[in-house]
Amino acid sequence: MSHDKLSSMQIRRRTLLASMAAAGASAGLSTLGVSRAFAQEPEKPAEIIVRAWGGSWVDALKAGVSDSFTKATGIAVRHDLTEDNEIQPKVWAAVAQKRVPPIHVNWDTTTNATKSALRGVTEDLSDLPNLKDTTELAKPVGLDGYPIVNTYGYVYVLAYRPSAFPNGAPKSWKDLLDPKLKGRIALYNDGIGFHFPAQVAGGGKLEDIPGNMQPAWDFISKIKEQQPLLGEDPDFTTWFQKGEIDAACTISTNAREAKKNGIELAWVVPEEGAKFDTDGLWIPKGLPENELYWAKQYINHALTREAQQVWLDGLGLPGVVPGLTPPADLVDDPSYPVTEEAFEHLIRISSKVQVENESQWFAKFKEIMQG
Amino acid sequence: MRTPRAAYPVTWRVMDMLERLAAAVWPSSFQRGLPYLMLLPAIVLVGLLVLGLVQIGDTSLRVLDTSTFLMSEDYTLANYQRVLTENFFATVAGRSLMGSLIVTAITLLFAFPYAYLMVRTPSSALRKFLLVALFLPFFIGQVVRAYGWLIILGNQGMVNEALGLVGVPPMRLLYNYPAVLFGLVQYMLPFAVLMLAPALTAIPNELEAAAASLGAGWVRTFRYVVLPLSRPGLVGAGLVVVTLSLTDFAIPAILGGGTQDFIANAIYDQFFRTSDQGLGATLSLMLVAVGSILVGVVFMLFGAGTLAMGETRK
Amino acid sequence: MGVVDAVQPAVEPRDRIAVSVKDVSMVFGNVHAVRSASFDLPKGRFLTILGPSGSGKTTLLRMIAGFDRPTGGEIFINGQPVSAVPPHGRAIGMVFQKLALFPHMTAAENVAFPLKMRRHDARGIPEKVERYLDLVRLGGYGSRRINELSGGQQQRVAIARALVFEPDLLLLDEPLAALDRKLREEMQLEFRRIQKELGVTTINVTHDQREALVVSDEIIVMNGGSIQQKARPVDAYRAPSNAFVANFIGVTNFVEGRVVELAGSRATIEANGLHLAGLAADATLAGGKPCAGAVRAEQIRVAPKDGHLDGLETVVDGLVVDCIFEGERVVYEIRVPRLGGVLMRVFDHDPESHLQFGPGDAVRLGWNARDMHVFAK
């Protein structure tokens, strides 16, 4: 019964949004201008809460999306820096107990967000007007509609300290096996980003994922002999800055952050390829209707070219709206793929496969690394 | 002469009124129920804990369905089978257990002379200094302290810089098992000293003088008099340190460089990284079981130490 | 001093001396706990150091035991200087004030402890422990835990433990202070019996003058860190060397006045216009100087106001203020108006005359001249 009510509400809202978009377009205004054009918009909450990653990540979001959203709507944006994996059970519990969720918008990895979508705790975002201007990257693969909107892509590059590679940039992930690098390399502590290139470096095929990943495990076992450090995003920046490591498989943003702080660093996509993945924004179910409306407006705003340009300049990552200008230091950079050719070197595995197997891969990686 | 009542402070009369009020609300015939009433908060607290354990027990019997990310409806022992058969869990459990035992041994070794000096020194200035040095770390949380060690022991940290001055190249002091144990010992030391100090205070100075007059040098006085008599303190301190180390999360997470997980870290991963609450619940219960068995064995071998409280020393 | 005939030989042969304390001082910060104390103790004797708390008696004992090192002087045990020898290197048995028995051991283990620590032949230990438990009448109690023994039994274990290794010297640091009176008196006799049986040289510290008189061969009275007198109990009692000793041992009445005449051992004092004859007990007495005449409570006799006190040189009138029945004796408190209203205490041990006077009765007091010791003030 409640389901019927919900869907009818959704239809009503969808029509409303569509008409608003049309009006906005005809008036030649940005979507946010629409809010001014329409007198009958839902009541504005004092603030909306957006979960974000800390450090340079939240700084970029604030500069690109949140500040301009507040300016246009008068709604303050509070950033909740709870870790993505810690907010997840809280949101799940809130939805299961039919409580109002603790956040309005979750900035999440597409894989994690897909888990929430599969569990059915995400609002459908198909009716966001700005979706029509986005590239195919914005659409989550293997899910119906838009329970998540992907907002940018990123590459798990091989970041390295050039002084530790006097013979030139590393060409292969196998270069990490150099005895010189023992104790001087780092991976994510769940191995994320490393499984797929390891499959190739170990002599296996990407098509065998997830059926036969033995080559990946063999390669990871060899890497284990190198005594890698295992960490999370901020760790990589710190470790590079403090001279703890010389090479890492990490999202380019973290390496770029250390480089901005004056550490000499570079990164490559090795010959085996590098994992390409996306992050997105989604809204948990159970928000009051007016707050849901404005949360959607926030995501819709994040898909405007202006917001994407500033946000992703900060992150140094390619967005989902055509016509963005790459930051000067990342033109033709392998971590900022824009051309078809650039994408050829990158490994993309569907979220569905990742979501279904991640726990096992994670457990296997841990088993090898903790052994 | 004024009435005697006027001579009493106002607070006394307020107390009288309160007492009369209390007598009306809680007549003296109910007096015997009072101790039980005061136990109520503790019972509620423990009750909630038990309720939580029951829920965790229920969750531990369900597996995660990765196509919907919901826990299964029916019960299964699959999680227990995984925990008991997969190498990874044995490794982590072994590391935690061994670690907590080593940490306990080293901590007691360091805490004993500290506590002894604190209790026995005739200089009150030294005693105050030792007390302050002991309590100061309590005001700095363990996470902050662990980050402090990252700064001190890092490749560009103070220790390596000092070594550099004498020509030793920087070496990796962090992100390994010894670093985790070191961090835990540093974290546990105040707990152990605080548990030991009362036990040592309870040993009369005269006993040591007596041992000396009977022909025992300080080594044998320590071995035959001080050590046996401080056993209750050592057992109490050991139990606290072993359980806190066994269940610690932050120190292995921060000083272990991701490769030195303890059981608590594995539990965290299940709950927050793979969303597998069933496996997480199973691991939690196993940790409770291992900890309880450990404490039980210590109780059986050495008695409950200072934690026995009312019991007379046998 | 030395008014009463000195029985002891003036000097003991050197090899008969067990403990020799020479000019020993102890200064804690600016407190002089012991001021240049000297004495010799012959072997086999039972010496009691008697004094009020803070007199330095315990400090002196701790220095002999080796727990504190003198800041001046030297202690010799069997002729050897011991200041540099730690307690466990001295052959001294000690019974502590709170006994300091090891609560985690049985009675027998406590007694065996010094034998093990001093590396006696392990085979002989059980037999020896049994023998010493028998000596303190605790045969068969060896397997008891300390907290299963009564206070008196614990005392006995402590004595056995201090003696079992046959030390050169036994030190007793007021071990009886905490006992009730009956048990204390029983243990005093026990100490004396054991000491005589073994012939061990013993130094006992106490503030209980009765204990000192009962158990000791010799007494040292200390006050303010200084030795006041060293004498046999009977001599210390009968011939105290100064007002402090006279006051500390026994119950003594003081009559204050001035010396008017000194003739040999006889001194006449003037108090409140009365001339009283006494024994010059202080070498520093001089004519005209202020002094105090000391008379023990039991050496004063009481008679009815019109009664006769034959043969007593000093007789004064008094008024009974209080009379206290103590069983074997009666204590009268009597005000003497002619001596400035001084309150005198008098013991009456005569069962026949018990309670013959009550408060308010007028009485007559008298004592012999030789029983009033005159000290300089």
Of the listed ranges A164-173, B181-190, C148-157, C322-331, the least confidently predicted one is C322-331
> Distances from the Cα of C347 to the Cαs of C22, C300, C307, C340, C361, in angstroms?
41, 7, 18, 21, 16
Kindly state the DSSP code that residue B199 receives in the 8-state scheme: H
| CA within 13 Å, CB half, C198 | 24
Residue in chain A closest to B88 (alpha carbons) equals A367
Kindly report the nearest CA distance between residue A32 and chain B, in angstroms: 36
Give this complex's ipTM. Answer: 0.81
Number of Cβ atoms within 10 Å of the Cβ of C168: 15
Compute φ and ψ for A109, nearest 5 degrees. -70, 150
- Which chains contact C through at least 3 pairs of Cβ atoms less than 8 Å apart? B
Task: Break chain B into its structural domains and give their ranges.
Answer: 93-305
Question: What is the pLDDT, as a whole number, of residue B142?
Answer: 86
Tens of pLDDT, residues A290-330: 999 999 999 999 999 999 999 999 999 999 999 899 999 89
Mutate to test the interface with B, among C63, C96, C145 (most CBs of B within 10 A): C96
- Cβ neighbours of C98 in B, within 8 Å: 204, 206
The pLDDT confidence band at residue C13, using thresholds 50, 70 and 90, is: low
Could you tell me the sign of the dihedral formed by the alpha carbons of C13, C15, C17, C22, in that order? positive
Identify which of C10, C14, C63 has the alpha carbon closest to the alpha carbon of residue C225: C63
CA angle A221, A222, A228 (to 5 degrees): 85
Domain hosting C338: range is 251-376
- Cβ neighbours of C88 in B, within 8 Å: 211-217
Question: Do C184 and C322 have their domain in common?
Answer: no
Distance of alpha carbon C172 from alpha carbon C162, whole angstroms: 9
Interface contact flag, C88 B216, Cβ < 8 Å:
yes
- Cβ neighbours of A227 in B, within 8 Å: 259
Question: What is the pLDDT, as a whole number, of residue C10?
Answer: 52
| Cβ contact B205:B120 at 8 Å | yes
- Which chains contact A through at least 3 pairs of Cβ atoms less than 8 Å apart? B
Number of Cβ atoms within 10 Å of the Cβ of A321: 22
Identify which of C264, C318, C248, C247 has the alpha carbon closest to the alpha carbon of residue C256: C247
Domain count, chain C: 2
Identify which of C217, C240, C241, C356 has the alpha carbon closest to the alpha carbon of residue C299: C240
Q: Is the pLDDT of residue C5 over 70?
A: no
Question: Do C207 and C229 have their domain in common?
Answer: yes
Question: What is the pLDDT, as a whole number, of residue A15?
Answer: 41
Question: Do C98 and C117 have their domain in common?
Answer: yes
Tens of pLDDT, residues A14-72: 344 444 444 433 333 444 444 444 456 899 999 999 999 988 889 999 999 999 999 99
| CA within 13 Å, CB half, C248 | 28
Tens of pLDDT, residues C181-216: 888 999 899 999 999 999 999 999 999 999 999 899
First-to-final CA distance of chain A: 52
- Residues of chain A above pLDDT 70, percent: 89
Distance of alpha carbon B39 from alpha carbon C259, whole angstroms: 78
| C227 bridge partner residues | C222
Distance of alpha carbon B35 from alpha carbon B43, whole angstroms: 12
Which domains does chain A show, CATH number per domain?
A: 2-153+278-328 (3.40.190.10), 154-277+337-370 (3.40.190.10)
> Distances from the Cα of B81 to the Cαs of A302, B60, C336, in angstroms?
46, 11, 102
CA angle A162, A166, A169 (to 5 degrees): 55
- The reported pTM is 0.80
- Cβ neighbours of A111 in B, within 8 Å: none
Domain boundary at C222, C243, C264, which? C243
Question: Do C61 and C97 have their domain in common?
Answer: yes
Q: What is the 3-state secondary structure (H, E, C) of chain A?
A: CHHHHHHHHHHHHHHHHHHHHHHHHHHCCCHHHHHHHCCCCCCCCCEEEEECCCCHHHHHHHHHHHHHHHHHHCCEEEEECCCHHHHHHHHHHHHHCCCCCCCCEEEEEHHHHHHHHHHCCECCCCCCHHHHHCCHHHCCCCCCCCCCEEEEEEEEEEEECHHHCCCCCCCCHHHHHCHHHCCCEEEECCCCCCHHHHHHHCCCCHHHCCCCCHHHHHHHHHHHHCCCEEECHHHHHHHHHCCCCCEEEEEHHHHHHHHHCCCCCEEECCCCCEEEEEEEEECECCCCHHHHHHHHHHHHHHCCHHHHHHHHHHHCCCECCCCCCCCHHHCCCCCCCCCHHHHHCEECCCHHHHHHHHHHHHHHHHHHHHC
Identify which of A320, B209, A208 has the alpha carbon closest to the alpha carbon of residue C102: B209
Tens of pLDDT, residues A106-149: 999 998 999 999 899 999 999 999 999 999 899 988 788 999 99
B308, containing H or E segment: none
Kindly report the nearest CA distance between residue B61 and chain A, in angstroms: 18
Residue in chain B closest to C112 (alpha carbons) equals B214
Could you tell me the sign of the dihedral formed by the alpha carbons of B31, B33, B36, B37, in that order? negative
| Structural domain contains residue C42 | yes
Distance of alpha carbon A79 from alpha carbon A49, whole angstroms: 6
Question: Do C238 and C255 have their domain in common?
Answer: no
| Cβ contact C294:C372 at 8 Å | yes
Chains B and C: 3 or more CB pairs within 8 Å of each other: yes
CA C251 to mean position of chain CA atoms? 14
Question: What is the pLDDT, as a whole number, of residue C144?
Answer: 94
A210 prior amide bond cis, ω within 30: yes
* Beta-carbon contacts below 8 Å between B and C: 67
Distance of alpha carbon C14 from alpha carbon B306, whole angstroms: 55
Copy the structure tokens of residue C185: 């008196």
Q: Is the pLDDT of residue C323 over 50?
A: yes
Identify which of C199, C183, C204, C262 has the alpha carbon closest to the alpha carbon of residue C58: C204
Domain containing residue C97: CATH number: 3.40.50.300
CB of B271 within 8 Å of a chain A CB? The answer is yes
Could you tell me the sign of the dihedral formed by the alpha carbons of A208, A209, A211, A217, in that order? positive
Question: What is the pLDDT, as a whole number, of residue C285?
Answer: 84
Whether domain B93-305 has CATH 1.10.3720.10: the reply is yes
Q: Greatest CA span in chain B, whole angstroms? A: 90
Kindly report the nearest CA distance between residue B246 and chain A, in angstroms: 17
The pLDDT confidence band at residue B308, using thresholds 50, 70 and 90, is: low
> Distances from the Cα of A133 to the Cαs of A138, A336, C36, in angstroms?
10, 20, 106
Domain boundary at C198, C214, C243, which? C243
Buried b or exposed e, range C31-52, using 16+ CB within 10 angstroms:
ebbbbebebbbbbebbbbbbbe
- Chain B residues with CB within 8 Å of chain C CB: 204, 206-207, 209-217, 220, 224-225, 228-229, 313
Distance of alpha carbon C133 from alpha carbon C139, whole angstroms: 5
> Distances from the Cα of B293 to the Cαs of B133, B287, B300, in angstroms?
34, 10, 10
The amino acid occupying position B251 is I
Using left for φ > 0, alpha for ψ between -120 and 50, and beta otherwise, residue A51 falls in beta
Kindly report the nearest CA distance between residue B314 and chain C, in angstroms: 8
Distance of alpha carbon C35 from alpha carbon A370, whole angstroms: 72
Q: Is the pLDDT of residue C325 over 50?
A: yes
Residue in chain B closest to A185 (alpha carbons) equals B257
| Cβ contact B259:B249 at 8 Å | no
Q: Is the pLDDT of residue C54 over 80?
A: yes
Q: Is C370 exposed, middle or buried (0-12, 13-18, 19+ CB in 10 A)?
A: middle
Q: Is the pLDDT of residue A13 over 50?
A: no
CB of A357 within 8 Å of a chain B CB? The answer is yes
The pLDDT confidence band at residue A346, using thresholds 50, 70 and 90, is: very high
Distance of alpha carbon C309 from alpha carbon C306, whole angstroms: 10
The pLDDT confidence band at residue C265, using thresholds 50, 70 and 90, is: confident
Rg of chain C (C-alpha set): 24
Copy the structure tokens of residue A340: 């078809």
Identify which of A255, A235, A312, A247 has the alpha carbon closest to the alpha carbon of residue A278: A312
Distance of alpha carbon B81 from alpha carbon A243, whole angstroms: 42
Distance of alpha carbon A265 from alpha carbon B135, whole angstroms: 43
Question: Do C28 and C170 have their domain in common?
Answer: yes
Identify which of C270, C268, C254 has the alpha carbon closest to the alpha carbon of residue C344: C254
Placement of tokens 């158990």 in the chain: C215
Residue in chain C closest to B209 (alpha carbons) equals C67
The most confident of the ranges B206-215, B298-307, C257-266 is: B206-215
| Structural domain contains residue C340 | yes
Tens of pLDDT, residues B218-252: 999 999 999 999 998 999 999 999 999 999 999 99
| Cβ contact B168:B275 at 8 Å | no
Averaged pLDDT for residues B28-42: 81
Identify which of B187, B311, B162, B314 has the alpha carbon closest to the alpha carbon of residue B248: B187
| Structural domain contains residue C1 | no
Question: Do C53 and C168 have their domain in common?
Answer: yes
Q: In the predicted model, what is the mean pLDDT of chain C?
A: 90
- Cβ neighbours of B81 in A, within 8 Å: none
Distance of alpha carbon C187 from alpha carbon C202, whole angstroms: 15
| Structural domain contains residue C7 | no
CB of B139 within 8 Å of a chain A CB? The answer is no
Q: Is B112 exposed, middle or buried (0-12, 13-18, 19+ CB in 10 A)?
A: buried
Residues 53-112 of A with CB under 8 A from B: 83, 85-86, 88-89, 92
Domain boundary at C210, C243, C276, which? C243
Copy the structure tokens of residue A225: 């002999």
Domain containing residue C269: CATH number: 2.40.50.100
Of the listed ranges B27-41, B64-78, C60-74, the least confidently predicted one is B27-41
Averaged pLDDT for residues C52-65: 94
